[in-house]
Copies of this chain bind each other. A is one copy, B any other.
């Protein structure tokens, strides 16, 4: 069947308000938000219900038409962007925005895939509960995409990745069959946990249409500490102490280098030098609890006192107000934007066995400098999860096409070093198109074979998001 005939069939089955086929209507759906990828498609389908998703997939499978599921388009790996096939159908979940229910006895939230994460967080908050998944793009990203990519963010050290928040999900498989797994049960030991396959599968096995998530008690009392450290090794010692003495209250443990602070002070508005002097490294700690402020503040005073006494940090500033909490976080949050403003750079979202980070940072830098001696590293990340954003900026004076020319060799060096340390080449962003070659090259052959075999079970016609991940 010709592309045109197939598009027509989609329109007949789902209606012109659901299926767009005109070039100008399709164009906005063909690129990722960073502009790294641009593909082609014959149609954009925006279903309003699980049933419409099922109809779309069944038609596509009949004619072996590739389907590219798309959430909020906030991914960093091109996973939701069509590749070069003109036959692609982009399937956007953005019209499935209903919150099906919030229950404060069961502590669950059931929502359709297209709901914006930030809206769900606010809805939970208003109901007196916490949806802990929190990330920079939360006011654009959709929960279906968050779950399909197993999103991380700043609270993973306490609450885990998206995977750990999912109690159940509803999904449509390529033949149009609906997987009715939208259960809210806490305990269900009846066979293989199939939903785990869809979580983090980046749209390669089916389309998530709704999710049931765990909610937590609100932890509105917050305290933020910025600690200066000599080195990543000292940051880890501080982490060990805080983990032990603060218990479940520890909900963020972020690290960044002094160079990152330079960068932020240079490019961001309204940010202040945190201490009288510059230090080699900084740790931003957030503690949160559901009880009163006095108890949390007393604990923070005591623990930071211990840390200074044991020389696990060089200096420390404790927030005394919400404004100070926000000011301290701004130092960390502005790093990505400052680096963008600063010019071309290479991003590497990697994770390491936590205890090996200090060693890795030394040897990775040596590897990178062997390729590009004057590269400028700006290293930061979710240290408490072993997650580094190992970002490298263009050397001063290098040509504007530096990234295009030297990027591949530098990235090879970083990711190879990550593998040598038993780390992961993608901590929280996934594989998509961006890391596919490295993934296929470095993943254990047995695991790759099993993944391909499982892909064949769920998607025998191979229509789901081709060219991504596997």
Residues of chain A touching chain B, judged by Cβ–Cβ distance below 8 Å, are 103-107, 128-129, 149-150, 152, 156-157, 160-161, 163-164, 173, 177-181, 183-194, 196-197, 199-201, 205, 216-219, 236-237, 239-240, 243-249, 289-291, 295, 299, 351-355, 382, 385-387, 422-431, 435, 439, 443-444, 446-448, 450-451, 453-454, 457-458, 469-470
Contacts and interface: CB of A to CB of B under 8 A. Distances in A.
29 contacts: A104-B244, A105-B239, A105-B354, A106-B355, A106-B386, A149-B189, A156-B186, A156-B187, A157-B186, A163-B193, A173-B446, A179-B446, A183-B353, A184-B353, A185-B353, A186-B351, A188-B351, A188-B426, A189-B429, A190-B426, A190-B431, A190-B439, A191-B200, A192-B450, A217-B243, A217-B246, A219-B247, A245-B290, A450-B457
A129 B245 CA distance: 11
A387 B200 contact: no
Given A184-B353, A190-B435, 14 more contacts: A106-B386, A177-B446, A185-B422, A185-B427, A187-B385, A189-B424, A191-B447, A192-B451, A194-B451, A217-B248, A219-B247, A245-B290, A247-B289, A450-B457
Contact of A351 (B187, B199, B217, B249): B187
A149 B428 CA distance: 28
Contact of A192 (B188, B422, B454): B454
Given A187-B385, A247-B217, A439-B190, A354 B290 contact: no
Contacts of A424: 183, 185, 187-190
B447 A458 contact: no
Contacts of A161: 187, 189
Given A243-B217, A354-B105, A192 B187 contact: no
A189 B150 contact: yes
Contacts of A351: 185-188
Contacts of A295: 295
A188 B443 CA distance: 12
A385 B187 CA distance: 7
Given A191-B439, A351-B186, A247 B290 contact: yes
A424 B183 CA distance: 10
A164 B159 CA distance: 11
Contacts of A189: 149-150, 152, 161, 200, 424, 426-431
Contacts of A439: 190-191
A229 to B, nearest CB: 14
A248 B156 CA distance: 15
Contacts of A249: 248
Contacts of A353: 106, 183-185
A129 B454 CA distance: 37
A216 B243 CA distance: 8
Nearest to A448: B191
A181 B424 CA distance: 12
B236 A105 contact: yes
Contacts of A193: 150, 163, 196-197, 199-200
Contacts of A184: 353-354
A177 B448 CA distance: 13
Contact of A244 (B217, B354, B387): B217
A185 B247 contact: no
A133 to B, nearest CB: 13
A453 B199 CA distance: 19
A453 to B, nearest CB: 4
A317 B216 CA distance: 26
A441 to B, nearest CB: 12
A222 B332 CA distance: 36
A128 B243 CA distance: 11
A179 B106 contact: no
Given A103-B355, A181-B447, A217-B248, A386 B186 contact: yes
Given A191-B439, A354-B106, A457-B457, A183 B248 contact: no
A291 B217 CA distance: 19
Nearest to A179: B446
A246 B188 contact: no
A243 B187 contact: no
